[in-house]
Copies of this chain bind each other. A is one copy, B any other.
Amino acid sequence: MSTVSLLSYDEMLPEAQAVIDEIKAARGVDDVNNFWKALAHQPATLRRIWDGLKEVMAPGALDPLVKEMLYIGVSVANNCDYCIHSHTASARSKGMTDDQYAELLAVVAMAAQTNALANGLKVPVDEAFQASDR
């Protein structure tokens, strides 16, 4: 179904195995999910993506659950099946409640609706919003 095979650990190059080892350790899991097994064909990309994700999703000015919910919102807008499933599961494991999920989807869908209206009407941006830009 995927355009490349899902590599088992033994089939990966050492550079890829090293990243997989880090993911397992960071997440405390015995096996990684399919995304990484597909990406392991490309050790340089695997390394770059894992390092980037680790940095971007770490606790910071936004808490990790908010970041997961943002990830879901963008994945819905971009309609990435895999990412919607994986990040919805991840958000739940980080404590997202059913009510939070319901509100998240309601906001995402409402945004899609007003995005369409503003794009269709080609509404010019108010000066006040640009003034708030700095």
Which residues of A come within 8 Å of B, CB atoms? 1-6, 33-35, 38-39, 41-42, 44-45, 48-49, 52-53, 55-57, 60-62, 66-67, 69-86, 88-89, 92-93, 97-126, 128-130, 132-134
Contact = CB atoms under 8 A, between A and B. Distances in A.
Contacts of A6: 123-124
Given A38-B123, A45-B105, A86-B126, 20 more contacts: A1-B122, A2-B123, A3-B85, A3-B121, A4-B134, A34-B125, A42-B102, A44-B55, A44-B106, A49-B117, A57-B107, A60-B103, A61-B100, A69-B70, A70-B73, A81-B125, A82-B118, A88-B129, A105-B120, A109-B120
| Residue among A83, A88, A118, A134 with max Cβ neighbours from chain B (10 Å) | A118
A125 B85 contact: yes
A34 B127 CA distance: 10
Given A89-B132, A117-B105, A99 B55 contact: no
Contacts of A62: 69, 100, 103-104, 107
A109 B116 contact: yes
B83 A111 contact: yes
A102 B133 contact: no
Contacts of A60: 99, 103
